[in-house]
A and B are shown apart, each in its own frame.
Chain A
């Protein structure tokens, strides 16, 4: 059994218990009313003037009718923290409707909840005790309202989990335990409630405690305390009950104090997801909330997945004087950088010593709340911190039975309220962590149409085809020695951003011909353009390669392209010499030159009128352009004849996407939309 370690600043509580039976009209305890059950001089209201140290959200969970709302009502009533007249008002309503007063009615606000005697949605209730401001979140226990329970629990830092001593452990008790662990609520105290209904027998309590501890152990959760109590009778809720002398641990009220709100998150590696980029005044401010770690002025930051780096110039704040020089986990802040780099919402900022993982694919445990089942292969929107990206479930490995945590392998869909082990593939690489390493950047939700329909935690990174090249590109970028000329200055000077126009499609569609046209048009306009034909690498740089070493050929090509683009050049190229399917070549090149924009122009010989479409390729492949920020956008031409006109189309697209300035000598747009 758990032992009690009362915190030093817990006020001594009255050791007497109430012996108020069911028939006895219950009375709220108020200072000075003389008839209360709390000693005079220890009126709970004396709590009011204690300085508040911190605040904490606690969720109350457990199966339906195991007494959550009653426990909450009892906690408030016995600490004298209800508003005046609240109980009397509810009692009057009860009399009117001819039903017995229940503490639960204090917080079940909706008419329907009171009529049906069931909590439908979570209520935030406010409670102050021993220098801490609590929000106690009463979560519904009914299976039908699981999404509401999860909404409440996802807000909480700790949980009270109730089990009915008479009914014992129900499916829902276990499901809630499992969901708490998935939601990252690691501090849990179990209350075995309704001990009055089992005559306060220790054997009953011991059996439930043993079984439930064993269940939680499988989830790597150790409860802080397991407390026998009776919310109805008031035993061990706000005051110790004399009817269980065999229990020497804390009351529920005392146990709240043992939950730690001291955030260790500031000591973890820095994770700062960009929420938005503002340019209200002269400076560009990156805004967001630091989810872990800390940063200070002068720190070198790495942005993932773009791999860009920059130094913190200032930390911006309104009505703070002098301005802050550092910030840490939990804070919503704004920073400016020493260099004008283009980064956007969804990137995660870290320090070089510990950067997040980057991949398109990961394995996760997911709970599904949608009315429509989760279908393998169907597109959903993945939201992970501030990143939003289309994804699909590529495998459903197992459905977890919440009751005994056994696994069931079946099917290609996950039903409402089921928990599953799945693999997710996003349309482009994104930054994340494993949930065991960092909870905020290790969890995500899936959006089905308009609705958040599921949530999950990442258990494993799955390397995709580009993983080795991505690792190489990241390490090379982080070690890159920069000159004094910034990327932005170079773009200003040339009137365009560095970019790669990649011409793809079957042989003899005129790709090389178009490449030459394009180069000529651009240079004639005074642009810094260059045709990099992969063929030119074959007999020089690649002379040592065996014929058919496609992997190494494309790697070297990508590195050369990366170098030339660092000079600010607009490269034009084909995929002719790679001996790889186009999509594979494109993905490899994108990965190596990332995050520079790559515009793919696809030529085909299909008959029919020449057309200009922007969305022809299957979602998972073409969308790789999303890598650099644009979900649609590559150009497709069928059966082209007039290559000069075609080159003009490509030029127009480059201007439209902000890569080229409107005219030579004009700076390009700051943001490239590809």
Chain B
């Protein structure tokens, strides 16, 4: 319990710093467990309000239940939802069969880049966690991206005593990562503690399968699992040593380092 409140306090502090320093701020929401916890933390930070838009970069390949859930919460929580899509790439027939990294780059990285350019966001809040994969372990809470959206991980700014990088040259933006210190288990413990509504794709509904991580339908695969409640998920995760993103194709080889360098989440 205490460790979850400590994580919550730090994330809330980061969200408030972001809101204070960025006039044109937005939060990425993929409807997955992490970004939904992030959204909940924003409601914590701003006393039930979410004072910035939520962006969903829609690849059009998402599982339909995710879109229904998105629209329901947007209505109930009075969210300012902004949906972006790389329409040109889709019109030209982009899909995962053209190569997973190619498809992710076109529909997600490029889709996000288009949205940033169109709306002029200078701060983007993302729900990435350091324990997801090893390049994210090296991220800062406030992480600059240059005018090509690129991440210069060789020369990251110092981050001292909760003093973050909040000033930046024109045409660049800052990625804000309030969930860096959370683990996958912490996310579920917190969902349980706060009773946060989540997609039931994460639960086994009798067929012995559940999703551990959600992405596009063609590239995300359920795992064998009997966990049909949140406490059962937590128990399962404590016993497993299989990596969370084992079901995510884009992580193979050096895919993620290259994707993230170019501006992927």
Residues of A whose CB lies within 8 Å of any CB of B are 30, 45, 48-49, 52-55, 57, 80, 82-86, 107, 109-112, 120-126, 133, 135, 147-148, 150-151, 154-155, 183, 275-276, 278, 280-281, 285, 287-289, 316-319, 330-332, 334, 345, 369, 383, 440, 443, 445, 447, 449-453, 455
When chains A and B are docked, how far (Å) is the Cα of A183 from the Cα of B159? 12
Residues of A within 8 A of B150 (CB): none
B residues 45-75 near A (Cβ < 8 Å) are: 45-49, 51
The 10 tightest CB contacts between A and B, nearest first, are A109-B134, A48-B238, A332-B12, A55-B3, A124-B130, A147-B158, A84-B241, A83-B243, A123-B137, A151-B159
Contact between B19 and A276, CB atoms less than 8 A apart: yes
The answer to whether B154 touches A285 (Cβ under 8 A) is no
CB distance from B190 to the nearest CB of A (A): 12
Which B residues contact A (CB, under 8 angstroms)?
2-3, 5-10, 12-13, 16-17, 19-20, 43-49, 51, 130-131, 133-135, 137-138, 140, 153-154, 156-161, 163, 165, 167-169, 180-181, 183, 186, 194, 235, 238-243, 254, 257
Q: Are A319's CB and B158's CB within 8 A? A: no
A275 & B6 in contact (Cβ 8 Å cutoff)? no
The reply to whether A83 and B13 contact each other, CB–CB distance below 8 Å, is no
Q: Decide yes or no: A275 and B160 within 8 Å by CB, A53-B2, A110-B138 being known contacts.
A: no
Pairwise interchain contact A111-B254, C-beta atoms closer than 8 A: yes
Given contacts A84-B243, A124-B130, A443-B161, contact A55 B238 (CB under 8 A): no
Measured between C-beta atoms, what is the minimum distance from B133 to chain A in Å? 8
Among candidates A148, A275, A317, A455, residue contacting B20 with C-beta atoms closer than 8 Å? A275
| Contacts A151-B159, A276-B19 known; 4 new A-B pairs at CB < 8 A | A54-B2, A84-B241, A148-B158, A155-B159
> A121 is contacted by which of B6, B9, B153, B254 (Cβ under 8 Å)?
B153
A451 and B157 contacting across the interface, CB-CB below 8 Å: yes
Please, could you name 20 A-B residue pairs with CB atoms under 8 Å apart, sorted by A?
Answer: A49-B235, A49-B238, A53-B2, A54-B2, A109-B134, A109-B135, A109-B257, A110-B153, A111-B254, A120-B154, A125-B130, A126-B183, A148-B158, A151-B158, A280-B49, A440-B161, A445-B161, A452-B159, A452-B165, A455-B161
Report which of B16, B44, B138, B167 forms a contact with A318, defined as CB distance below 8 A. Answer: B44
Complex formed: what's the CA distance from A151 to B138 in Å? 11
Q: Considering only CB atoms, which chain A residue lies closest to B258 in the complex?
A: A111
A107 touches B137 (CB 8 A): yes
Chain A residues with CB under 8 Å of B51's CB are 280
Determine the chain B residues whose CB is within 8 A of the CB of A48 once the complex forms: 238-239
A85 and B243 in contact, given A110-B257, A133-B3 (Cβ under 8 angstroms):
yes
CB distance from A450 to the nearest CB of B (A): 5
| Complex Cα spacing A345 to B20, Å | 10
Given A109-B134, A121-B153; A455-B160 close (CB under 8 Å):
yes
**A469 CB, min distance to chain B CBs, angstroms:** 31
Q: Is the CB of A276 within 8 A of B161?
A: no
Roughly how many angstroms separate A278 CA and B19 CA in the complex, as a whole number?
11
Which A residues are in CB contact (< 8 Å) with B161? 154, 183, 440, 443, 445, 455
CA distance A452 to B144 in the complex (A): 13
Query: Chain B nearest CB: distance from A80 CB in Å?
Result: 8
Q: Is the CB of B183 within 8 A of A83?
A: no
Q: Which residues of A contact B168 (CB under 8 A)?
A: 450
Q: In chain B, what residue has the closest Cβ to A449?
A: B167
Quick check: A332 and B13 within 8 Å, CB to CB?
yes
Task: Using A126-B131, A452-B163 as known contacts, say yes or no to A55 and B20 having CB atoms under 8 A apart.
Answer: no
In the complex, chain B residues whose CB is within 8 Å of the CB of A124: 130-131, 137-138, 180-181
| Cβ A383 vs Cβ B134 within 8 A | no
The listed residue (B13, B130, B167, B181) touching A447 by CB distance below 8 A is B167
* B153–A275 CB distance below 8 A: no
Question: In whole angstroms, what is the CA distance A447 to B21 when docked?
Answer: 15
Given contacts A84-B243, A110-B153, A147-B158, contact A332 B45 (CB under 8 A): yes
Contact A445 B9 (CB under 8 A): no
Whether the pair A135, B49 counts as a contact (CB closer than 8 A) is no
Complex contacts, B17 vs chain A, CB 8 Å: 275
A326–B70 Cα gap in the complex (Å)? 36
Q: Which of A111, A112, A148, A445 contacts B163 (CB 8 A)?
A: A445
* CA–CA, A450 and B171, complex, Å: 13
The answer for the CA separation of A334 and B49 in the assembled complex, in Å, is 14
Task: Tell me, in angstroms, the Cα distance from A288 to B12 when the chains sit together.
Answer: 9
Q: Which residues of B contact A449 (CB under 8 A)?
A: 167
Inter-subunit contact B158/A334 (CB<8 Å): no
Cβ A330 vs Cβ B6 within 8 A? yes
A48 to B138 Cα, complex, angstroms: 25
**How long is the Cα–Cα vector from A278 to B44 in the complex, in angstroms?**
13
A120-B153 Cα distance, complex, nearest whole Å = 9
Which residues does chain A contribute within 8 Å of B44, judged by CB atoms? 317-319
